[in-house]
Amino acid sequence: MDFTAIQARYLRDAPPIRLGGIAANLARIASFSRNDANREIVEHMINESKLFIEWAAPETDVDTAAVLVELQLQLAQWQRGWAGIWEDTEKRRALIEQCRYWSKRVLDMSGLLREDPSCGKVA
């Protein structure tokens, strides 16, 4: 699959939006992993998330980039053990919980849900 067009579109967004996209992908992975029929879709979303991290990390601060690298390593570990994870209910449940954790963490780092002090609203 040629990801050139996807990358060009992805890079048009500001870094916080990119992080929000990664968080959304992780939330989708958690949700889709509940259904046995979604194995290939989830596997594709894991790979897509790795690409999003690769494209987003260079334009983040050092601390955020370090967390993204840690997440990318986690995604790679899931890919390596994919058949065993998908077929094992407990391992898949752990993946779902880890995706929820990572989704929240990345969304928090994005700053998209912080209050705007000038008006008291979520930015």
Question: Measured between alpha carbons, how far is 71 from 50 in angstroms, rounded to an integer?
Answer: 8
Provide the 3-class DSSP secondary structure of residue 13. Answer: coil
Q: Class for domain 14-109, per CATH? A: mainly alpha
Alpha carbon 35 to its chain centroid, in Å, reads 19
Provide the 3-class DSSP secondary structure of residue 121. Answer: strand
Tens digit of each residue's pLDDT, the chain (123 residues): 778 998 999 999 999 999 999 999 999 999 999 999 999 999 999 999 999 999 999 999 999 999 999 999 999 999 999 999 999 999 999 999 999 999 999 999 999 998 565 545 555
Domain ranges of the chain: 14-109
Q: How is residue 92 annotated by DSSP?
A: H
Q: Residue 30: which residues within 8 A CB-CB, separation 6 or more? A: 95, 96, 97, 99, 100, 103
